[in-house]
Structures are given as C-alpha cells and as structure tokens.
Amino acid sequence: MSASCCGTTASLELEQIATSGATGALPVVVIGAGPVGLAAAAHLAERGQDFLVLEAGEQVAASVARWGHVRVFSPWKFNIDAAAKRLLEADGWSEPDPEWLPTGAELITDYLAPLAKLFGDKVRLHAKVTAISRLGYDRVRTNGREEVPFLIRLDGGAELRARAIIDASGTYVTPNVLGASGLPAYGESIVEIDHALPDVLGADRDTYEGKHTLVVGAGHSAATTLLALAQLENTPITWAIRAGGAGRTYGGGAADALPARGALGTRLRAHVESGRIRLLTGFFVHSVARSGNQVTVVSRDPSGAEQSVTVDRIVAATGYRPDHSIASELRLDLDPILGSTRRLALLIDPNQHSCGTVPAHGVDELSHPEPGYYAVGVKSYGRAPTFLMATGYEQVRSVVAAIAGDWEAARDVQLDLPETGVCSSNLAEAQEQRVGLATGVSGGLLATPLPLATVGASNDGGGCCG
Ligand SMILES: Cc1cc2nc3c(=O)[nH]c(=O)nc-3n(C[C@H](O)[C@H](O)[C@H](O)COP(=O)(O)OP(=O)(O)OC[C@H]3O[C@@H](n4cnc5c(N)ncnc54)[C@H](O)[C@@H]3O)c2cc1C
C-alpha cells in the first residue's frame, strides 16, 4: 500500500496490521509525522522496534507545511535529529549547510520528506487519530490494565492496537481563542478569523493587500505578520494587545540580549511610532460581529470599559494549546496551568523559563500514570511557548530507549547545545530577503536569560513561538 492511501481500504489494512497477537508483538504507534514524530520513528527504527506513524495530513509534517514560508531562527545543525541523520546519511543524503536557517518548506523538502521516505508504508498519511484507550478498559478499570494493548481509533472508524503510544501530534491545529479570558469571544465561531502567520507577501498577498487588517497578539507571530503587512501599500494595519504597552514585543532594541528579537522589535516600534501601524493597548477582545463586509471587534477590559475597531480581516496570533481530548480515556496527570505533565511543568513554566533555560528532560518527566503513553514534542509543553525541536529530539531519544528497555540510556538525558547559536542573529537579513521571519525560539540558548518579568507579566500567549 502506498503511503498516500486513504479511505476504507487503507483503514482495513491498518486494522489487519495490528489487531491480534500478544501486546509485546504489537507496534509502537507514533501519532503525527512532524519533526518530533519522525525523529521518534528514527530512534525506533535504529533500535529495531516495530512502529507505525499515523499522520492526519495529506503530507508529512502537515503543520510545518502550513508555515512553510516562515524562516526559522534555529540553524540546520539544531533542527536535525541525530538518529535521523545517521539513517539519512546511510542512504546517501547530504546534510544541508549546518549554519543555514531553513524555511518550514525547506525543513520538509531537505529533511523530513526524505526521512519519511526511508520508512515506507510505516508512515501512513490521511490517518487522523480520533481517540485512544486501553482495549476493554475505560479510564476507571484498573486490574490488569497494564497488560492490555492500547486501542487507537481513526477518523473513518478503523481501530488498531499498539503496545505503546508516542503522541507527537503538536498544537498547531488547536490555536488559542481570540477572547481575552481564554474563552472564545462572542461571535468568534461565526466570523472569518485567519490563523497566525499567513503568507502575507506570498500566496496570501491578494487576501491582505488593500484590506484593513487587525492583528491580535503580542508574540513573535504577531510581530512577523505586522512587519509583513507593513510592506503592503494602501493596507491599514491595527495591532491589538492586552498589555498596557508593547515593550515586551519590542524587546531591548540594539541593547537586546537577543539580536534577532531586537531587530524585530526595533522595526515594529518604528512602524508604530510613525503611525504606519496603529497600536491598541489594553485591548481585551470580548466580541466580534459582522458589520456589512467588515467585522467589528469590541474590547471590554476588566473594569468594563469598552473600545472597538472595525476592520476587513482579523489575524489571531494568540498562541496554541494542546488537545488532550483524544486521550481522555487514559490516565493523564496534567499540570493545571500548562497542560503538560506536572513534572515537566516545573521545568518549562514560561513565568520562570525561556527556551534557553529549559533543562534537558526525558522519559521520567514525560510519563503519565498511564504506562506506555507519552506526549512528546511541542504538545508535551502544553501552553508553554518555549519549545525547541532539539529538545523534542532528546525527549524521543529517551522515551524510545525506555520503550526498548534501555533505562540507562533513557535516563541519561542531555541537550548538547552551545550557549549561543540556536537562535541566529540574522533575522534582519532574512527579513530583507522577504522570505518570512521566524516566530519561533526568540529565547534561544543564549547565555543571558530573557528578562523573565516581562514574559510572565502580560501572559499574552507570546514567548518563544507565540
Ligand atoms: C512559525 C514557527 C516557527 C518555529 N521556529 C522554530 C525554530 O526556529 N526552532 C525550533 O526548534 N522550533 C521552532 N518552532 C517550534 C517547534 O519546533 C515546531 O512547532 C515543530 O514543528 C514542532 O514539532 P512537533 O513534531 O512536535 O509538532 P508538529 O510539527 O506540529 O507536528 C505534528 C503533526 O501531527 C499531525 N497531527 C495532528 N493531530 C493529529 C491526529 N489527531 N492524528 C494524526 N496526526 C495528527 C499534524 O498534522 C502534524 O503533522 C517553530 C514553530 C512555529 C509555529
């Protein structure tokens, strides 16, 4: 069967792959063929573990493809998993320039697609997981629970079994809402709202040129979109943030510990000060409603004071949240704030950590009360916006070692990153090339920690990758 099969035939084949036999003979199922899911597959392949990768999209790394026009901050040398590199090189692949900052599209064509090809039909496309449980066990039943396989239900009704699950399904398809209190704004589901990071200067140009656009959010996704919009003529731009000022987004300018962030912030500040971008502060989105061909967005702040703006388009750049609903019949121990495991939450709390200060971690921090289920990659961080691919690669190295029974390797967690270099400083250059700006990893692995007070203070869903 080809990797692009879908529909009933593919579903039946999937059922046949894993519906019988002892739990130990079943494959490890990886959910999601993004950078971290495919890295998990590489480690499973190296350790001779049977596996199957289920990808909802019509191509591998379907979420990365949605931001394919964006150039990331971290150079190739931090974006390639070690096991994946070994497998690819054995197949004759040449590593891209380690210092180059790839776009999302380049991540796929130069790395992830060739990697997935190595695994043949062990990577299944159009295979969206809708639910996971234990065969014959709901969440309450205990006796013998650990002995039975996982049951995985797919969109379309097929079911298959697994001896362990590595859930690398990401957060990109579950963005945060526009509403300021974490609840959807009134009317949010009935007006058209654009996802973060539209390709303003490329494929989506006609959508935005000449249209008054409201960008909501204080992270780097918002900043990137605003700077791209500012290059379009006759295109009014309004930027709305909850905070009382945009200092956090601007960063420290030329004095910023992170030159990339400084370059982004300096340009943005200049556009706001010149009036090219109209900034609305203290803007707490309460409702959105159509008014003719436009949309009126109303803010109601905690004191009840209202302000509003009427625009043609809205871009919501308010961050992402994990969707744990597919695992609701499993026993998860989730941190009440972030939605990561509780042990991991202590290490990644954005009130205390930037990307650069998150320590290496692995199977122990990622384990739930449900043995054999691990959420990894950006999903493992829940709502913390500080995830790095390199961190996810170490997560899956550790988790796969544990699944293979090599607990010594599983617990020997390391992040081999230098103090500088994960976040390149040539953001401004990338911007000049008009190839898109990274939103990710503003924190980077720099020696100087981010100013933590500003990260936590406004809680605007920004941070490294917001
Ligand atoms: C614009 C942007 C720039 C970034 N820049 C950097 C950077 O410079 N450096 C860095 O280290 N990190 C960066 N990040 C952060 C992070 O590394 C990436 O988001 C990365 O793609 C996360 O990889 P992942 O495999 O965990 O998840 P994803 O890439 O989101 O992959 C998840 C996959 O799971 C699939 N899926 C989802 N639900 C299901 C389901 N129910 N069933 C089956 N499949 C499913 C999706 O289609 C997708 O292919 C950036 C993020 C963004 C958004």
CB contact at 8 A, 391 and 443: no
- What does the pLDDT average to over 99-116? 96
Determine the atom of ligand 1 nearest the C-alpha atom of 107: 21
Rounded Cα distance between 193 and 19, Å, is 42
Write out pLDDT tens, residues 159-212: 999 999 999 999 999 999 999 999 999 999 999 999 899 999 999 999 999 999
Ligand 1 center from residue 171 Cα (angstroms) = 7
Write out pLDDT tens, residues 148-159: 999 999 998 999
Contacts made by residues 183-190, CB under 8 angstroms, sequence distance 24+: 185/285, 185/286, 185/287, 185/288, 185/297, 186/286, 186/287, 186/288, 186/289, 187/287, 187/288, 187/289, 188/288, 190/290
Pick the residue whose CA is nearest to atom 22 on ligand 1: 378
Task: Please provide the DSSP assignment of 352-405 as one string.
Answer: T--GGGPPP--HHHHB-SSTTEEE-HHHHTTT-S---HHHHHHHHHHHHHHHTT
Rounded Cα distance between 184 and 216, Å, is 14
- Mutate which of 53, 72, 153, 391 for ligand 1? The one with the most ligand atoms within 8 Å of its CB, which is 72
Ligand 1 center from residue 152 Cα (angstroms) = 21
Pick the residue whose CA is nearest to atom 3 on ligand 1: 440
Write out pLDDT tens, residues 45-97: 999 999 999 999 999 999 999 999 988 878 899 999 999 999 999 999 999 99
Ligand 1 center from residue 172 Cα (angstroms) = 6
Rounded to a whole number, what is the distance in angstroms from the first to the last CA of the chain?
38
> Phi-psi region for residue 92, left (φ > 0), alpha (ψ -120 to 50) or beta?
left
104 membership: H or E segment, kind and range: helix 104-107
Ligand 1 center from residue 274 Cα (angstroms) = 36
Ligand 1 center from residue 301 Cα (angstroms) = 33
Rounded Cα distance between 28 and 43, Å, is 12
Amino acid residing at 121: D
Using alpha carbons, select from 439, 434, 418 the residue that is nearest to residue 99.
Answer: 418
Angle at 333 (CA atoms; ends 19, 25), nearest 5 degrees? 20
Ligand 1 pocket: which residues have CB below 6 Å? 31-37, 54-57, 61-64, 67, 70, 72-74, 128-129, 168-170, 172-173, 197, 326, 377-378, 387-390, 392, 438-441, 465
> In the Cβ-directed half-sphere of 270, how many Cα atoms lie within 13 Å?
9
Rounded Cα distance between 375 and 50, Å, is 19
* Residue 461 in this model has a pLDDT that exceeds 60: no
Ligand 1 center from residue 294 Cα (angstroms) = 32
Q: What does residue 132 show for φ and ψ, rounded to 5 degrees?
A: -135, 140
Pick the residue whose CA is nearest to atom 5 on ligand 1: 440
* Residue 17 in this model has a pLDDT that exceeds 50: no
Helix residue ranges per DSSP H, 158-280:
205-208, 220-229, 247-250, 259-274
Determine the atom of ligand 1 nearest the C-alpha atom of 173: 37
Q: What is the DSSP letter of 330?
A: S
Rounded Cα distance between 55 and 211, Å, is 36
Pick the residue whose CA is nearest to atom 29 on ligand 1: 34
298 membership: H or E segment, kind and range: strand 294-300
In this prediction, residue 356 carries a pLDDT of: 59
276 membership: H or E segment, kind and range: none
Ligand 1 center from residue 14 Cα (angstroms) = 24
Q: What is the DSSP letter of 279?
A: E
CB contact at 8 A, 376 and 40: yes
Pick the residue whose CA is nearest to atom 41 on ligand 1: 129
Ligand 1 center from residue 63 Cα (angstroms) = 6
Give the pLDDT band of residue 244 (cuts 50, 70, 90).
Answer: very high
Q: How many Cβ atoms from other residues are within 10 Å of residue 426's Cβ? A: 18
- What does the pLDDT average to over 254-283? 84
Using alpha carbons, select from 416, 385, 407, 410 the residue that is nearest to residue 396.
Answer: 410
Determine the atom of ligand 1 nearest the C-alpha atom of 221: 1
Pick the residue whose CA is nearest to atom 13 on ligand 1: 440
Ligand 1 center from residue 349 Cα (angstroms) = 20
Determine the atom of ligand 1 nearest the C-alpha atom of 391: 11
In this prediction, residue 204 carries a pLDDT of: 96
Structure tokens at 307: 């302000």
- Mutate which of 130, 389, 399, 417 for ligand 1? The one with the most ligand atoms within 8 Å of its CB, which is 389
Using alpha carbons, select from 414, 371, 372 the residue that is nearest to residue 393.
Answer: 414
Write out pLDDT tens, residues 28-37: 999 999 999 9
Write out pLDDT tens, residues 320-349: 999 999 999 999 999 999 999 999 999 988
In this prediction, residue 235 carries a pLDDT of: 97
Strand partners, 277: 237
In this prediction, residue 22 carries a pLDDT of: 61
Pick the residue whose CA is nearest to atom 31 on ligand 1: 34
Ligand 1 center from residue 216 Cα (angstroms) = 22
Structure tokens at 48: 């001779």
Rounded Cα distance between 274 and 283, Å, is 21
Write out pLDDT tens, residues 87-101: 999 999 999 999 898
Share of the chain above pLDDT 90, in %: 70
Ligand 1 center from residue 92 Cα (angstroms) = 26
Q: Regarding predicted confidence, which is higher, 433 or 401?
A: 401
Ligand 1 center from residue 289 Cα (angstroms) = 32
In this prediction, residue 355 carries a pLDDT of: 62
